[in-house]
Amino acid sequence: MNTTRHTLAPLSAALTALILWGCEPAEETQPAPEASGNAAASGVEYSDPDNPGTASTPDSHWQCPQDAGQAPSGTLTAERIPGSATTQEEAGLYEGPVWIGGSLYFSDFTFQEGFPSRVQRLTAEGTLETALEDSGSNGLAVDAEGFLMAATHDAKAISRYELSTGDREIVWDEYADSPFNSPNDLTLTRDGAIYFTDPDFQRSAAPGGQPKTRVYRIDSDGVSVVDDTLSNPNGVSLSPDEQTLYVAGGGEQGVLRAYSLDADGQVTGQRDLAEVTVPDGMAIDCLGNIYVTEHTKQRVRVFSPEGESLAEIRVDANITNAAFGGPERQTLYLTGAGTLWQIELDVAGYPY
């Protein structure tokens, strides 16, 4: 596997049009150094938020169906996916689910020294195959060009992978001339900017680190701090209109925090939407509802954009993260302690 450095640049208008689907002021920015299912097959028409009424495939990850569906309510239970149990001999976790090209990909790491990690793919037959060895990854996402984006603790960096070759590019790996702690989760905007969390959970995977745990933004101008007041920020997602950034963190006395963003992606205010216990990853549905995993509570809590508690989805082991997938993107996939769960919902959502 080759590793190089990738220069982050804004997407061209043509490329963006092609792939569009679907606090305190930030600190000073440091300058930059086969799809399964489609609209016809599923019977669902998908609209481009920048060009209402257009249609494209559900794999275009920034799009949502014109009729997004209905949010879950009450108490639900997700089912384990047969054949998804880990083959690792050492204890560890599944993390960072992302739906790409008709398949679910996720990180599979152990608690051994260095937290060795690989990326697995759930096949159509319901079995697991290794897509990337030695990925060093936790949270995953997909960029506009279809590359796998990863929060990688082995390199203390945001990395970009070519799935077909396994080649890695380092997007960014430092702030204020020091390495990050252990990038954990990430989300991307339509124009290619990256928000990510940097707790200290896997800090020992490599030397160095930061004096604080933070939320960061990376864009073509460099890296900047979004928030340095939230202890061990973890899950991170954007609202469908990209006007709100959601971050969960704080451990036992955790919170789901919402940051208002201006047109340039800068924070103009923040508020705590809900209290959550040991929050981990999160997902967003096309109605804008937030799905927050509570690790040791073994459940997902669903909140409206206003912070109203709508539903909970239970599992039978510690849980880490969530993502929507399937041909109509109405399957909520969940990762956790060496297994996967799924539940069919009446609402479509985003693929990481």
- 318 annotated ligand binder: no
The pLDDT score that the predictor gives to residue 8 is: 52
C-alpha count within 13 angstroms, C-beta hemisphere, residue 99: 31
Calpha distance 330→332 (Å, rounded): 6
Distance CA 309, CA 302 (A): 6
pLDDT digits (tens, 9 = 90+) for 276-306: 999 999 999 999 999 999 999 999 999 999 9
Using CA atoms, how far apart are residues 180 and 136, in angstroms rounded to an integer? 14
Residues 214-266 pLDDT 10s: 999 999 999 999 999 999 999 999 999 999 999 999 877 899 999 999 999 99
Least confident of 109-113, 115-119, 165-169, 246-250: 109-113
5-46 pLDDT tens trace: 554 544 333 333 323 333 333 344 444 433 222 222 233 333
Q: Phi first, then psi: give them for residue 330, nearest 5 degrees.
A: -115, 10
pLDDT of residue 39: 27
Q: 303 has which bridge partners?
A: 290, 309
- What counts of helices (H) and strands (E) characterise the chain? 2, 30
> Helix or strand or coil: residue 15?
helix
User: Is 95 a known ligand-binding residue?
Assistant: yes
As a whole number, mean pLDDT of residues 170-182 equals 93
Instruction: Name the least confident of 14-23, 123-132, 176-185, 234-243.
Output: 14-23
Distance between start and end Cα atoms, the chain: 25
Annotated ligand binding at 280? The verdict is yes
Helices (H), 139-284: none
> Count of alpha carbons within 13 Å of 251, Cβ hemisphere only?
8
Q: What pLDDT shows up at residue 158? A: 96
| From the candidate CATH numbers 2.120.10.30, 1.10.10.410, 3.40.50.300, 3.60.15.10, the one assigned to the domain spanning 3-23+31-344 | 2.120.10.30
**CB-count burial class (<10 Å; 0-12, 13-18, 19+) for 75:** exposed
Q: Which residues contact 108 (CB under 8 A, 6 or more apart)?
A: 86, 88, 92, 93, 94, 95, 117, 118, 119, 120
- 198 is annotated as an active-site residue: no
Classify strands 267-276 and 254-261 as parallel, antiparallel or unpaired: antiparallel
Helix (H) / strand (E) containing 17: helix 13-19
DSSP state letters, 55-90: ---TTSTT-EESS-B----EEEE-EEPTT-S---SS
Residue 2 labeled ligand binder: no
Catalytic residue among 173, 198, 280, 285: 280
**Residue 39: strand, helix, or coil:** helix
